[in-house]
Amino acid sequence: MGINLISDTVTKPTPEMLKAMFSAEVGDDVFKHDPSVNALEEKAAAMFKMEAALFFPSGTMTNQTAIKLHTQAGEQLICDKYAHVYNYEGGGVSFNSGVSCKLVDGERGMMTALQVKKAINPPDFYHSPLTSLVCIENTTNKGGGACWDLNDLVEIKEVCTENNLSYHLDGARLWNALVAGNHSPEVFGELFDSISVCLSKGLGCPVGSLLVGDRVLIDKALRIRKVLGGGMRQAGYLAAAGIYALDNHIDRLKEDHGKAKELASTLADMSYVKKVEPTETNIVIFEIRESEMTDTAFIELMGKKNIQLIGMGDGKLRMVTHLDYTEQMHYEVIRVLKSI
Ligand SMILES: Cc1ncc(COP(=O)(O)O)c(C=O)c1O
């Protein structure tokens, strides 16, 4: 039995989700004729109390579309140095939008309002790129699934409003933050100009992300999605998985969080572990003592024991708990970690 902890994206649809997919009513979504996609978009918009939503094949495409919508070529966005939009979207910020990133040296992927304020280029100083957008990520991926304090997000919103900047949330794992912080989605809907949420991570769908925002923005997003090649035809089969997941897979994220915390506390007790980062949701980031083993040797050793994890650079290792990570697998991983 292989145990895959490299990401929460490795899940396969449950039998119940597959049933919902097989029985979906579908149509051509490029003509907006797919009832299941339309229902999913309406459901997501209502959850966030925002005007509209649009279904996309990936979280990269929702983020890239949002950046395109909020910026013009030559402008600059502000994000943390750990941001997914900067580190892991293939340079899409410059490729798609001709935009640069001003990186902020935040804490576990999270910035303060003061840091954001200081990162804004004076708008009348035409030698610098014009700052037009702030992107934040919740939970932070490279920051170990950390959840933002709502007050910090409100303070950054104020900076955005004062300085005429758009405010985008990369909420690939926002569901985890909602469950961990016991927040309702509408709290986030009130704050941001656009929100990207993924269905294909903790919620266990095979494919799919949504961009949520006001009607004007989402109408424009339809064109960008088409340009990027993200217009899908009978996508209702995938949307049905999304509807199922929104109804059935949000609350259970606390199980993933519980298991991640147990992994973190087991690791913290091991003499071969140098450091474990605080674990708030489903991502565990830790380092191995160099005197004991290299990070790659640890990955190899775990691989031999049928457990897969991933390196995040700088000696950091990552394990992510998810829907397909069972109790039985969890006991096995804890047993192996203790046996090393
Ligand atoms: C924080 C964050 N944003 C965006 C994405 C991109 O999502 P996708 O893999 O669907 O393109 C990911 C993927 O892991 C992510 O972790």
Pocket test for ligand 1, best of 10, 79, 88, 283 (most atoms within 8 A of CB): 88
How would residue 1 be classed by pLDDT, with cut points 50, 70 and 90?
low
Could you tell me the distance, in angstroms and rounded to a whole number, from the CA of residue 128 to the centre of ligand 1? Answer: 30
Q: Whose alpha carbon is nearest atom 8 of ligand 1?
A: 59
Q: Whose alpha carbon is nearest atom 5 of ligand 1?
A: 59
Could you tell me the distance, in angstroms and rounded to a whole number, from the CA of residue 244 to the centre of ligand 1? Answer: 20
Q: Residue for token digits 């147990």?
A: 262
Could you tell me the distance, in angstroms and rounded to a whole number, from the CA of residue 82 to the centre of ligand 1? Answer: 13
**For the sheet containing 194-198, what is the strand order?**
52-56, 209-213, 194-198, 166-171, 131-137, 76-80, 100-104
How would residue 144 be classed by pLDDT, with cut points 50, 70 and 90?
very high
Could you tell me the distance, in angstroms and rounded to a whole number, from the CA of residue 88 to the centre of ligand 1? Answer: 8
Could you tell me the distance, in angstroms and rounded to a whole number, from the CA of residue 27 to the centre of ligand 1? Answer: 27
Q: What string of DSSP letters covers 7-68?
A: -GGG----HHHHHHHHT-----GGGT--HHHHHHHHHHHHHTT-SEEEEES-HHHHHHHHHH
Q: Residue for token digits 């990207």?
A: 196
Ligand 1-lining residues (CB < 6 angstroms): 58-60, 63, 84, 137, 141, 170, 172, 198, 200, 209
Over residues 302-331, the mean pLDDT reads: 97
- pTM over 0.85? The answer is yes
Q: Whose alpha carbon is nearest atom 15 of ligand 1?
A: 172
Could you tell me the distance, in angstroms and rounded to a whole number, from the CA of residue 90 to the centre of ligand 1? Answer: 12
* Residues 272-293 pLDDT 10s: 999 999 999 999 999 999 999 9
Domains of the chain: 3-9+252-339 (3.90.1150.10), 15-248 (3.40.640.10)
Over residues 208-222, the mean pLDDT reads: 98
The percentage of residues in the chain with a pLDDT greater than 90, rounded to a whole number, is 100
Pocket test for ligand 1, best of 82, 148, 201 (most atoms within 8 A of CB): 201
* Residues 81-100 pLDDT 10s: 999 999 999 999 999 999 99
* Residues 156-196 pLDDT 10s: 999 999 999 999 999 999 999 999 999 999 999 999 999 99
Q: How far is CA 137 from the centre of its chain?
A: 7
